[in-house]
Amino acid sequence: MLLKERKSTLGYILKIPIKYSTYSAIMIAILKIIGGIIPTLNMFAIAKFINSAITLFKYHSGYSDIIIAITLIMICTAYEWIYDYLVTYDETRLENNLRVSFKVYIINKVTSLKYSNIENQNTCDLISRVCKEPEKQCKDAYSQFFDILSLLITICGVVGVLAMNVFWSALLIVAISIPLLKLAINGGKASYQANRQVRRYIREVDYLSEVLNGRDAVDERMLFCYSNKINEKWHRQFEKTRKLLFKVNLKWFIKAKSGGIITAFISLTTILILLFSVRSGQLSIGLFISIVNSETLLIQNLSWQLPSYVNSLAKNKEYIVDLIQILNLPGKKEYLDEPISPNVVVNSLEFKDVSFKYPGTEKYVLKNMSFKIEKGKHYALVGTNGSGKTTITKLITGLYEDFEGEILINGKSIRQYSQCEIKSMFSIVYQDFARYFISVKDNIYLGCVNKYQNKDIESFLDILSLKDTIEKLPNGLNSNLGKIQKDGVDLSGGEWQKVAMARAMMSSSELRILDEPTAALDPISENDMYQRFSSMSKGSTTIFISHRLGSTKIADNIFVIDQGKIAEQGSFDELIENNGLFAKMFESQKSWYFKS
């Protein structure tokens, strides 16, 4: 159910609720439009009631006029009574319907954005703004639009009646309303912009709160006793945020209120002048009383309610502008799709003169890099921090497409494969792998979502020496991990890494990439783990990244990366014999492996 991308924000404000919750959206529109007509109808009914009551007492005329007037007043009052309930009911329905359909659409849209977009800071901010209760923001914008329409109908009705009796007064009120409206629109925009600016601070404030209260930093917090220092920083950021919002709101409040005072002054002068018309018999007492009531309503509407609605709508309109930006960002629906089955087997993978710099940066991370990987062999990528190893894995797995040169898979450009095909080729464990707070079993099974079968995971647990740990858990493989669930248990850093590796093993992809997932293990355990992993991966292709060079002995070929280039390549023995960069690096780590 794709929403066509349209330029007009107003179009979106109306279209989204009507598309996703037609009945309640139409009901809200009808209720509010009738709600706008009621005050004028009421004004006429009251005038008619007073005039017919005077005529009845003075001239003993018939009751028919007064009965019609009373019936009309009763209808108007009854409508006002039920109005709030009906509108609240339909608004709640609208919000719920938007939550189950439109919110899902937005989440899917965000999930299908290109990886390079998600990594970008500005897009991250945009996503965080747009994903904050989209159902509420869209419902509010729609509702406020009809609140304004309803109020305008009321104002037009009252101003129309005034114009029929005291034309110049109506003209004056309209003239003062225009700058008031403009003021409200500018106020709305300014407060949304302020909110936008503030969101960045809020994120920082939230992060600092997490450092102060969260579980992750608890050990260091106790040890370094930095709470006061962070608290001061948190307070400064919080104050900055509060002051900015207060300033914008105060400015708007003063302007709106001063505009309101002028309107009130004009309306009161009108009432005084109308007294002369009553005296000369030009205006009936009934109409005069009713106009006074309506002028009071008008003052309230024009001086406060209308600017306040317009202000809120302008804020929500800015939200819709953000929403349109997200909808216009490039994405692929297939990012959401599962890997194709059967998997595409990677017989060869080749980098040909590949150069790459991250979007929005100028420095090349990889420069004219060429290497070839063949099916069934084990490869290691080694190099100093920041030399470009993880970047290579991101290009291999199709996360970035804006590289120069060629990446060929089975002789065909990676750009010619669909995302579902690419996903089926690789399984990967990153150094900052995810920890899912679900059961151990589900954590592992996530590695093969397209074949969610009862694959025997016991053998993987054995290879990863995870069996004992799992057996000790209260519900074995079904134990919940993390602290979200009541019975959740936590694992050590190394145990989490093993679970992430088991997930990669579950995948039926034959090319496995391990980007330093073993950093929490000691060098000897890491070495053992890779030995077991490689024997279990016989016939499959593996690429692993490690700073512990002893572990690279299992690799058929080692690529030494330096400053975005392949500085050396060969087997462990060949590289040691060469006595180059690799040999020097290994020399400094040799003592770690005495035991082996």
Ligand X SMILES: Nc1ncnc2c1ncn2[C@@H]1O[C@H](COP(=O)(O)OP(=O)(O)OP(=O)(O)O)[C@@H](O)[C@H]1O
Residues near ligand X (CB under 6 A) are 119, 358, 361, 365, 383, 385-391
Q: Is the dihedral of CA 449, 450, 455, 460 positive or negative?
A: negative
Please name the residues in contact with 465: beta carbons below 8 A apart, sequence gap of 6 or more: 498, 529
Q: Residues 556, 535: contact at Cβ < 8 Å?
A: no
Closest distance to ligand X from the beta carbon of 388 (Å): 5
Query: What DSSP state is assigned to residue 475?
Result: T
- State the minimum distance, in angstroms, from the CB of residue 491 to ligand X: 23
Alpha helix positions (H), 482-540 = 493-506, 523-536
Nearest-angstrom CA–CA distance, 419 and 399: 9
**For residues 237 and 387, which CB has a smaller minimum distance to ligand X in the complex?**
387
Distance CA 365, CA 392 (A): 10
C-beta of 387: minimal distance to ligand X in Å? 4
Using the minimum distance from each CB to ligand X, give the nearer residue, 119 or 322: 119
Nearby residues of 78 by Cβ (< 8 Å), 6 or more positions away: none
Range list of H helices, 400-475 = 419-425, 440-445, 458-463, 467-472
Nearer to ligand X by C-beta: 304 or 358?
358
Minimum distance from residue 361 beta carbon to ligand X (Å):
5
Run of H or E including 368: strand 366-374
Nearest to 349 by CA among 328, 319, 370, 366: 370
Closest CA to 185 of 308, 7, 322, 320: 308
Q: How far is the CB of 323 from ligand X (least distance, A)?
A: 25
Give buried/exposed letters for 475-492 (b at 16+ CB in 10 A, else e).
Answer: eebebbbeeeeeeeeebe
Kind plus residue range of the DSSP H or E element containing 353: strand 348-356
- Shorter beta-carbon distance to ligand X: residue 259 or 388: 388
Q: Which helix (H) or strand (E) holds 369?
A: strand 366-374
| CB contact set of 349 (below 8 Å; sequence gap of 6+) | 372, 373, 396, 407, 408, 409, 511, 541
- Taking the least distance from each CB to ligand X, the nearer of 89 and 592 is 592
As measured in angstroms, the least distance from the Cβ of 561 to ligand X is 7
The Cα angle at residue 582 between residues 578 and 586, in degrees rounded to 5: 110
Nearest approach, Cβ of 403 to ligand X (angstroms)?
A: 13
- Beta carbon nearer to ligand X, 128 or 258: 128
Separation of alpha carbons 12 and 557, rounded Å = 56
Q: How far is the CB of 496 from ligand X (least distance, A)?
A: 18
Of 431 and 465, CB closest to ligand X:
431
Question: Do residues 400 and 115 lie in contact, with contact meaning Cβ atoms separated by under 8 Å?
Answer: yes
Q: Cβ 536 to ligand X, closest distance in Å?
A: 25
Closest to ligand X by CB, 145 vs 356, is 356
Dist CA 457 CA 470 (whole Å): 12
Smaller CB separation from ligand X, 383 or 494: 383
Nearest distance from C-beta of residue 384 to ligand X, angstroms = 7
Residue closer to ligand X, measured from CB, 305 or 563 = 563
Q: How far is the CB of 220 from ligand X (least distance, A)?
A: 21
Nearer to ligand X, 32 or 512 (CB): 512
The C-alpha atoms of residue 100 and residue 105 are separated, in whole angstroms, by: 9
* Residue closer to ligand X (CB basis): 35 or 550: 550
Is residue 353 within 8 Å of 405, Cβ to Cβ? yes
Rounded distance, CA 491 to CA 497, Å? 9
Beta carbon of residue 545, minimum distance to ligand X (angstroms, whole number):
7
Give yes or no for a contact between 227 and 249, defined as CB atoms under 8 angstroms apart. no
Q: How far is CA 584 from CA 79, 370, 576, in A?
A: 86, 23, 8
Question: Tell me, what amino acid is at 562?
Answer: D
The residue (of 391 and 557) whose beta carbon lies closer to ligand X is 391
Q: Could you give the CA distance from residue 359 to residue 403 in angstroms, rounded to a whole number?
A: 10
Minimum Å distance from CB 383 to ligand X?
6
Nearer to ligand X, 21 or 117 (CB): 117
- Closest approach of ligand X to the CB of residue 547, in Å: 7
